[in-house]
Amino acid sequence: MTLRATLIQALPSTNAVAVSGGLDSWVLALLLRQLGRPVRAYTLATAIPDYCELPRTTALAAQFQVPLTVFAAVDLEAALPRFLAVTRTPIYNLHPVSKLLLAEALRDAGVPEIIGGDAADQVFRGESTCDLLPLTLACFAHAGVQLHLPFQAVTIVQPDPNKLALRALAADLGLPPIAKQPTLVPGPSILNRTTEELARCAALRA
């Protein structure tokens, strides 16, 4: 089965897609659109320089005429204690906290389920574990929003860390080339806090 066919078969009935400025989520959004379904995109804007992908996300939504709902994030560091209480896992970077804020925003907006591009990196690298995915799933479960991950249905024979197969599909869908961007939140404050401090914070909030 081709990558396109596998992803299409794995698409759920919802037309809501969580998008960033990256390749994975937009391939799913455009597959829905190609199927004639009324896709609607949702994203979280952090306004953090060199991290927030809103300009590119907005440009892609406009290019493909996909309705986009933008949620403004509160301070990620301020949400850290709540995130730790939910996941009970120390983290070394604030990026996973954005998953909780997005899930909560979707819940508050009345979006009960959504498609996400998570797990694509793990699948194409041929990895059996991923430190971010369990945290993401825990955040969405806590918010009561069902997260569908079509990339989990993909099986590859050889690792494809550069996602060449996915990039070829993206080109067929009309997506412009999108370079992989790091997902580390810049700023020293969180990096100066040890995992022991974070663990204690989580225990206090439990």
CATH of the domain at 38: 3.40.50.620
pLDDT the model gives residue 206: 39
Q: 194 pLDDT exceeds 60? A: no
DSSP state of 176: P
Instruction: With respect to residue 180, please indicate whether it lies within any of the assigned structural domains.
Output: no
Is 152 among the domain residues? Answer: yes
pLDDT tens string 2-50? 999 999 999 999 999 999 999 999 999 999 999 999 999 999 999 888 8
The tally of domains found in the chain comes to 1
In a domain, 193, yes or no: yes
| 99, part of any domain | yes
**Chain segment 75-133, per-residue pLDDT in tens:** 888 899 999 999 998 888 889 999 999 999 999 999 999 999 999 999 999 887 767 89
Q: How many CB atoms lie within 10 A of CB 92?
A: 14
Q: Residue 77: its pLDDT value, please?
A: 87
Convert the pLDDT of each residue in 133-192 to its tens digit: 999 999 999 999 999 999 999 998 899 999 999 999 999 999 998 877 666 666 545 444
| DSSP E strand boundaries for the chain | 16-18, 40-45, 68-72, 113-115, 146-148
Domain assignment present for 195: yes
* pLDDT given for residue 205 in this prediction: 39
Cβ-contact 48, 186 below 8 angstroms: yes
Residue 177 belongs to some domain of the structure = no
Measured at the CA of 6, the angle between CA 168 and CA 96, to 5 degrees, comes to 80
Whole domain around residue 42: which residue ranges? 3-171+185-205
Q: Are 88 and 122 in contact (CB under 8 A)?
A: no
100: in domain: yes
196: pLDDT strictly greater than 60: no
Considering the entire predicted model, what is its pTM? 0.88
Is 178 domain-assigned? no
